[in-house]
Chain A
Amino acid sequence: MAYSQKVLDHYNNPRNVGSLDKSDPNVGTGMVGAPECGDVMKLQVKVNPQTGIIEDAKFKTFGCGSAIASSSLATEMLKGKTVEEALAIKNTELVNELSLPPVKVHCSILAEDAIKAAIADYKRKQAAREAVVAQAQ
């Protein structure tokens, strides 16, 4: 499989590899997998609760080069976006940016799923916290 220049760049120098504190209420964690190949991806966002802006994003992917590149690129795109803007990111943007061939589309879907899962997790935590605050009042 010939990878595009951009995929190779992200693959060789992945941005934002690592992890954030899962128990931090401002961190959302998404863990997803692709049943086609058995690859797994974890993506995390840290949101500023005052502004709703994503201040940091990290990922760790065990999978093919395209999945690594997709998640690396996704974390770059996430930083500075609001939660709602992040939800609007589509896998097709990743496909275009990285020039992924059709057989590698599922790798980019994995990254989109990971973003969605991370944000859903963040929202869940926020809702739980608000519930606690409301109860205390």
Chain B
Amino acid sequence: MEQPPCWQCNKKYTGLFCAHCNALQCPVDDYYSVFGMERKLSLDVQALQAKFYELSRLLHPDRFTRRSPLERQYSLEASSLLNKGYRVLRNPVQRAEYVLKKEGFDIGEQGTKDVPPELLEEVFELNMALEELKMGDQQARGAVEEARQRFAAMRDEIDRELEQLFQQWDEKHERATLQQIRGLLNRRRYIHNLVTEVENVATLSN
């Protein structure tokens, strides 16, 4: 993304701070660019954290109390982007959803597509068993626990597949990969919600 020249010294630069006069620039509305990183799906969370602390320090409001109102405004905007961005980017699932959105994939309103019918069946069955358990049918407990383990294993498997696809996209930037990622994320959402739900019920009835 081409940035306009520095508002203060009018020179060309890339990044949050001008390389020539060090003035804070109007932040681009993109989490990756606030962090000064390329849009990659695989990302070193430790490095992200280090960068987050460093930028938080550089953008701290105390450093801007005597700067121009414009820069004060920029620093507020940049800090809020930084904080939101950190929350999203450090989580692989949210990060992937963010990248999909930025790459023009709409997450909402896509109906049942991308999810195999057998998975829906299984999700439905486990929900049924869970409901019986909630209503006090202790016989359902075994089935629920067994299903929980199976679903948790499915989720782990999906996470492994996601990791591979992340690398693949970072290398080749093919839309087909993003399509596959979206399919996996959809499947993951059903499974994840259910596993969480089962865990809630289990703690309640223990």
Contacts and interface: CB of A to CB of B under 8 A. Distances in A.
Contacts of B191: 38
Main secondary structure of the interface of B (DSSP, over half): helix
B123 to A, nearest CB: 5
A106 B108 contact: yes
Contacts of A35: 107, 110-115, 185-186, 189-190
Contact of B190 (A38, A42, A105, A117): A38
B33 interface: no
A113 B111 contact: yes
A31 interface: yes
A33 interface: yes
B194 interface: yes
A74 B121 CA distance: 21
A62 B124 contact: yes
B120 interface: yes
A32 B194 CA distance: 15
Most buried by B among A35, A36, A38: A35
A133 interface: no
A37 B193 CA distance: 8
Most buried by A among B112, B131, B194: B112
Given A40-B127, A62-B127, A31 B190 contact: no
Contacts of B124: 31, 40, 42, 60, 62
B110 A38 contact: no
Contact of B109 (A31, A40, A106): A106
A109 interface: yes
A31 B186 contact: no
B69 interface: no
B107 A40 contact: no
A105 B111 CA distance: 11
B189 A37 contact: yes
Closest 8 CB pairs of A and B: A38-B193, A35-B186, A62-B127, A38-B190, A38-B189, A32-B112, A33-B120, A31-B120
12 contacts: A31-B120, A31-B121, A31-B124, A32-B112, A33-B190, A34-B111, A35-B114, A36-B109, A40-B120, A40-B123, A40-B190, A62-B123
